[in-house]
Structures are given as C-alpha cells and as structure tokens.
Structure 1
C-alpha cells in the first residue's frame, strides 16, 4: 500500500473519531477515503480544494490513488475491498471521465428505482459476504451517478477466547449480566502501556488474527473521555514500536496497577502470562455523511451550483452530491472478529434556476379552529379547536 495514502486514511480516521457520538459507535474512514479521493479529482473549484483538504493528497492524482488503495487492500487474506461506479444510461459523460474512473468499474443506472435498487443491493451483499444487504443511499429515479466502496473483514483468533455469563458489580456497567470473553496468553507483548497520548496513560491490547488482521483494544483511566481514548488508540496503532511492553510492566509489585485496567497478580502457571477479558460485542451504525459535510469536504459539492455543476470532469450535465451515507458493522466474539462497511455517494442533476415570485406566508402560531367537510355535500365531519399543540417534537 502506498504510504501517503495510508497516512491520509489514518488522518481522516482520527478526525472522524473525534466527532463520533457518545455511546456505542463504529465507522470506516477506509471505506470513505477512496470516494472522497475520486470526487476530489472530478470536482471543480471551490469544491475541489475542500475535498482535497479532506483527502490530504493533491487532487490531480487522488482518484488514481483511491482506486489503487482499494486494489491493494483487496490482496489481503482477511479483508475484501471493492469499488463500484454506476452512471445513468442517459447521462452524457465528459471526455475526461475515463481519467477519473477506470472503465471496468462502471455500470449502468436505468432510472427505474426497483431495478436499480436490486442491482446496487446485490453488489453490496456480494462484496460484504452477506453482512450488509443494502446500499445505504436511497435509490431514486433522479440518481445520475453512484460511487460506492464495500469492505468485508473476517478473521479468526490465533488463540480463541472462552465465553461465560458474567455479572458486573462495579463501575458504569454495574448491575448487568453480560456475555464475557476471557483467555490466557503467554505473549506479554500483546499488552502495552502508552503514556504520551491525548487520554493520558493508555492500555492497548492486541488480539492477533490467524492471517493478516489484528484487533487493538484500548482503555484509559476512568475519567478519560471517549474521543481522547479513540485518539490515543489511533496514535498507538500508528506507533507499533512505541509504548512499554507487558514484559516490562509485569515487574511491578503484586496488586500494583501498572497501567489502566492492568494489575500484577500471582499466576498458577509456570511462566508469566497475560489474562485478557472483555465483553463480546456487536455494533452497527448508519452515518449520513452530509450531516458533517464540512468534516469531509462535502459542503460545496452538495450545494446547488445552478447551471454549471460541480463535476464537469464527469459530465457536462450539471451535477451535485445529493446523498453520502455509510452502513458499517463490527462484531467481536469468542472465535474471531468480523466487520463490514458499505459507503455510497449519490450525485443528482442540479435543478435549473427559476425566477423568484412573491409568496404568502401563513403561520398558525396561536390557537385556531378546524373542521373536516364532505366535499360533495359540504357536511362538516369533525370540527374542533386547537388551544395547545399536542404532539411535542422528538
């Protein structure tokens, strides 16, 4: 994999992680970055500069590097990646279109939502091994261009966990019973302490997969914030040679906390070991990326540009970004880990500017009467008065 592309994906991951909502959450910047890279090459200014800033690479070459990244990661044993592009059959393409998107990736949209949805959903299902069965965007007749990536990850632990039901008595999970995983490992290097992170001291546990994927788990001190721990984990992931190994930490006194959530204890085994335990988990989320358009460089290209459009490298027909969404899931269980993400961008033709007319604005913002009448006979069916709105907002 090209180092600069990898660094750019890591940077986008860090920025996005800082904005994740509280609670269970999961996202894939790896699934999003190639699409932003393609759009950066295809976009006109000023949207081109916004996208390039989000991508972190020059827009002249980012499309090729985005497609190349998908090809590179698809060579992994555990990770499958795919890139797809669909164009409405009536859309005229620019001569430069082939420089933005490889021709072999391009399929056709008919404008029939039922047929197009079936095609796009089948692609998502096939390229996520059935873990995600629908394209995240709404398939509508006005879709002119769809760009999508799919990622599917399945790995099996080198050393599986044992599973049990555990009652938690202390901390924020107190009072609950959970499916809990635990295992013992002689490899002390799977535990590290990182001190110089945004969260302060951080414990990072590496759970090794049987092929070419590992899962890193991070925990900070009880008062460490979610976003800081995420940032610290990503910092640690980029610095595998850093931190203090469990081989160093085990030298502390029995009962001593030598890292967040790590204590030294006596073992019944003849050699030092790591005992790791955690709840199994399954998380799925849907992200509407236009809710954070500025973060992803999508503000300008999703606005209505009038007659010119934002993507003349794709088509002389004025286009804007109408939808940008991601469906993503992750599952950590006794025998392994699986995850999938489908990220999709939907471009639509822009509406032609219309002459502005005068309008009447009527606000029923105080008590008012109402009635329902039978049209033919004008008989009032129900009549009433609204003194106070009865349906509070969510």
Structure 2
C-alpha cells in the first residue's frame, strides 16, 4: 500500500484525537464509560480531505485543520489513501457520491473521483435509501447492511466511504472457557483465546507520559496486524489508544520481550524462569479474549474534531469548489464493526458525511517464559504492517461469553 509517511501521520493523528474526544464524551455523560467502541479513521479522513478541497473560507480552514494537511494538498492525499487498499489482500475500500439533479459538480473536483463513484439521487427518499443501503452492504460483504445516514427530501449530496477488512492469523489461537480471577470480568466465563510462540518480540512494553503500556502484536496473513494494548489500571481508554498510536511512529520506545527483565515489567506481563527437562527456546504465552463490537458514531456530535463546525451552517453554501449549488453538511455518521476470534480478525466501516503420563524426570535446564494476560479492558489497533496506518481502532470492555455461559 503506497501511502506517504505524511498521509499516514495525518490519519493516525486523527485516530489519536478521535480516541481522546470519544473519551471526553463518555466523561461528560454523552456515552457510558463501561461501553466499548470501534471506529475507523481511514473511513472518515478521505471524505474530510475531499470536502476541504472543495470548501472555502472558514469551512476550508477547519476541514484542513482536521485533516492535518494544507487545504491545497488534501485532494491528492485523499486519492492516494483511496488507492492504497487495492494493493492489500483482504482489504477492500470504495468511495461513493450521489447528487440530486440540481447539483452539477465542478469539473476539477469531480475529475479526481474514481470513475464509477458518482451516482444520482432520484428524489424519492425511499428509493434512494434502498440504493445506498445496497451499496453499503455490497461494499462491505454484508458486514454492514445499511448506509449510516438517512436520505431525506432535502438531501442534495451524499459522500460516503466503505472499508472491509478480513485477515487470518499466521498462528491461530486455541479457544476455551476462561474465568479471570480478578478485575471487572472475574464473575464471567469468557471465550478465552490463548497461544504460545518462541517469538518474544511479538510483545513489548513502552513507558508513556500517562503510564506503561503492554503491546501484543497479532500478525495476519494479509500484511494487516492487530495490536492489543493494555495500560496500567489507572489509565483511561483515550490514554491507552493515544499511546498505541504514538508507538507506531516511534518503535524505539518499545522494549521487546527479548529484553524484558524478570518479574512484572509491564501491565499484564510476567517474565520468569521455568524449569525444563530439555533445552528449550524462550516461550511467549498470550492469553486474551474474543470480542465482537459494533458502534455508530455521530460525527457532527464531534464537529470541532472533524472540522465541520462552520460547514453545518445552512444559511450559506460552503463548497463552491464542489458545485455552484449552495451546500452545507446536514448529517455525518459512521457505522463500524470489529470481530476478533481464534482464527482471524474482520472489521468494516461505512462512513457517510475461540494426558496422564509417567512421573516427570528431574529438570536440568532453565528457560525464560513471558506470559501476557489481557484479562481487563484493553485497546486494539488494526494496522497495515508496512505503512503503520491505523485502519480500525477500539476499546474492549465487553468480551464474548463462552457459549455455555451465554444466557442468550
């Protein structure tokens, strides 16, 4: 996926700010702090960049600020990001634009869109809603069934993106019942996932301004990995997610499992000597939980974050570079999902504006074992391995129950 470092930093910067803004809303009572979430910065970023290219005045400045690039660079960066997923197996993306008959696109702006991206609204909200819902379901392989915005009689333009990601772990997990001994999940039997590896560099610890964070990288077969992030118990979701994004840009801050001291060097981490009857390589044991998340985000509820404050004002048009018709943003939504399981990971986003033997011999050798345990709320990032671009991010508070303990 050929994406410049500048674009990657801009998208990841939005991811970190989004995590912080989401946390502020939970602290303010707009959402429950006990709820998990999942969101896709890659889903919304190119839409904001395209809008910035066609905007003027305060709306243009606000959108460019949210994108993190000068307005004149936004369009080319958006096209770069939209082309990138085509080179990654298991990652599909699409852009869609629908306009009312009265909206004629400016040639320079429209020419930068994919050839098959532009459709027309019929003026019948029910017919148009069905068409857009069908597009969302098709572009995500059925992972998201509806377009997150509602088509109304006064809808003049809908700009949407769809992202679908599927990857299979290079080394699958073993699935079984798991009942954590302490913490918020101690009274539940969860769908536990565990595996062992000799690759200690898959785990590491970083010291951040808000506390230590343990990172476990789970590698997929499509150059997309999922990073599980466990912070210190006093750290908030936003702090852990922000730390995880920051580590993508500075891997030197991560102390690899090969260099960890004995004891408990990080959250959920235990490093110890283990007696063995034969010479063995170091061992990494990872224990975590399966999760299945869905979330709906009202982007206008965070209009300052996304640079949409002025663009909401319907008293005047803000996008003369898109069309001569006066346009303002009336709704902006994102529907997202993420599922982490024994064999792999999948996520999607549509954004629209699982012996008895003989007595053991006497042990003669000592091996090092690292155990990483994610038995309380943690964060995750789905990351393109080579560009380090954050595709999906989230916070896990409600893992899947093991089937025998599932009342539903």
Q: Does 1:237 align with 2:248?
A: yes
Distance 1:314 1:235 in 2: 35
SS at match of 1:340: strand
Within 5 Å, give how 1:220-369 maps onto structure 2: 220-249=231-260, 251-252=261-262, 256-267=263-274, 270-306=280-316, 309-345=317-353
Contact preservation (8 Å) 2:192, 2:287: yes
Contact preservation (8 Å) 1:198, 1:229: no
Equivalent residue for 1:116? Answer: 128
Q: Which runs of 5+ in 1 are unaligned?
A: 346-394
Tell me whether 238-247 or 108-117 shows the greater mean CA deviation. Answer: 238-247
Distance 2:76 2:128 in 1: 27
Contact preservation (8 Å) 2:21, 2:305: no
How much has 1:96 moved relative to structure 2?
4.1
Q: Does 1:3 align with 2:5?
A: yes
Q: Which runs of 5+ in 2 are unaligned?
A: 27-32, 354-408
SS at match of 2:193: strand
Distance 1:330 1:92 in 2: 37
SS at match of 2:132: helix
Q: Between the two structures, name the one with larger relative contact order (CA 8 Å, sep ≥ 6).
A: 2
Contact preservation (8 Å) 1:152, 1:341: yes
Contact preservation (8 Å) 1:2, 1:69: no
Contact preservation (8 Å) 1:216, 1:237: no
TM-score (ref. length: structure 1): 0.82
Q: Figure out how many residues of one structure are paired with residues of the other and give that number.
A: 338
SS at match of 1:72: helix
How much has 1:85 moved relative to structure 2?
1.1
How much has 1:245 moved relative to structure 2?
0.7
Moved over 4 A (4+): 266-269
Distance 1:124 1:259 in 2: 41
Distance 2:153 2:348 in 1: 27
Q: Which has the larger radius of gyration?
A: 1
Q: Does 1:191 align with 2:203?
A: yes
Equivalent residue for 2:85? Answer: 73
How much has 1:239 moved relative to structure 2?
2.4
SS at match of 1:160: coil
